[in-house]
Chain A
Amino acid sequence: MATNVNGMNPTDIKDPNYFHKVVDCQWACPAHTPVPDYIRLIAQERYTEAYMLNWDSNVFPGVLGRTCDRPCEPACRRVRTEEKPVAICRLKRVAADNKGDISDFMPVVPQEGNGMKVALLGGGPASLAVARDLLPFGYEVHLFDRDQKGGGMMRSQIPSFRLPAEVLDEEVDIILNMGVHAHFGHEITSMQAMLDMGFDAYFVGTGAPKGRGLELIGHEHVSDHVSIGIDWLSSVAFGHTTKIDGKVIVLGGGNTAMDCCRTSIRLGAESVKVVVRSDFGVMKASEWEKEDAMGEGIPIINNRPPKEFIHENGKLTGIRFECVEPVKGDDGRLKYVPTGEPDVVIECDHVLMAIGQDNHCPWIERDLGVTFDKWDCPELDPDTLQSSNPKIFFGGDSAFGPENIIWASAHAHKAAISMHLFLQGQDLKADRPPEGVNLISQKMGMHEWSFDNEHDAAVRHVVPQVPHVEALKDVKLEVELGFDAAAGAAEAQRCLNCDVQTVFTEKLCIECDACVDICPMDSISFTANAPEDVLRQSLTAPADNAEQDLYVSEVLPTQRVMVKDEDVCLHCGLCAERCPTNAWDMQKSVIHVPQLGTFAE
Chain B
Amino acid sequence: MTFVAKPKVHHPALKLNEIGLNRRDYEGAVSTLCAGCGHDSVSAAIIQACAELSLPPHKFAKVSGIGCSSKTPSYFLSKSHGFNSVHGRMPSVATGANLANRDLFTIGVSGDGDSASIGLGQFSHIVRRRINMMYIVDNNGTYGLTKGQFSATNDLGSTSKKGVANLYSPIDLASLALQLGASFVARSFSGDKRQLVPLIKAALLHPGFAFIDVISPCVAFNNHSGSTKSYEHTRGHTGSVVDADLIMDHEEITADYAPGTIEDVKMPDGSTLRLNKLEENYDPRDRVAALSHVQQKAQEGEVVTGLLYVDPDATDTHSVLNTPKAPLNTLTESKLCPGDAALGKINAGLR
Contact = CB atoms under 8 A, between A and B. Distances in A.
B36 interface: yes
A541 interface: yes
8 contacts: A455-B7, A512-B41, A513-B190, A520-B7, A541-B13, A557-B232, A577-B2, A581-B36
B12 A80 contact: yes
Interface of B: 1-14, 24, 30-31, 34-38, 40-41, 43-44, 190-191, 193, 217, 219, 223, 231-232, 235
Nearest to B38: A512
Given A514-B36, A521-B10, 17 more contacts: A81-B9, A82-B9, A447-B2, A455-B9, A457-B7, A510-B231, A514-B37, A517-B40, A517-B41, A521-B11, A522-B10, A522-B11, A523-B11, A544-B13, A578-B36, A580-B35, A580-B219
A558 interface: yes
A229 interface: no
A513 B44 contact: yes
Contacts of A518: 2, 6, 30, 40
A338 interface: no
Given A542-B13, A580-B219, A520 B36 contact: no
Contact of A457 (B9, B13, B44, B235): B9
Contacts, number: 98
A573 B4 contact: yes
Interface of A: 80-82, 447, 453-455, 457, 510-514, 516-518, 520-523, 541-542, 544, 557-558, 568, 570, 572-574, 577-581
B231 A570 contact: no
B322 to A, nearest CB: 42
A511 B1 CA distance: 19
B316 to A, nearest CB: 32
B11 A541 contact: yes
A577 B30 CA distance: 12
Contacts of B219: 510, 512, 580
A544 B12 CA distance: 11
Contacts of A579: 35-36
Contacts of A557: 232, 235
A430 B340 CA distance: 105
Contacts of B8: 457, 520
Contacts of B4: 447, 453-454, 572-574, 577
A569 to B, nearest CB: 10
B35 A558 contact: no
Nearest to B40: A517
A518 B24 CA distance: 11
Contacts of A453: 4
Contacts of A521: 9-11
A521 B7 CA distance: 9
A39 to B, nearest CB: 18
Nearest to A448: B3
> Of A514, A518, A581, which is in contact with the most chain B CB atoms at under 10 Å from its CB?
A514
Given A568-B12, A577-B35, A512 B191 contact: yes
A458 to B, nearest CB: 12
A568 B35 CA distance: 23
Contacts of B30: 518
Nearest to B235: A558
10 nearest CB pairs, A to B: A580-B36, A455-B7, A517-B44, A512-B36, A580-B35, A580-B219, A541-B11, A522-B11, A520-B7, A513-B41
A578 B219 CA distance: 12
B25 to A, nearest CB: 13
A580 B5 contact: no
> Of A80, A454, A517, which is in contact with the most chain B CB atoms at under 10 Å from its CB?
A517
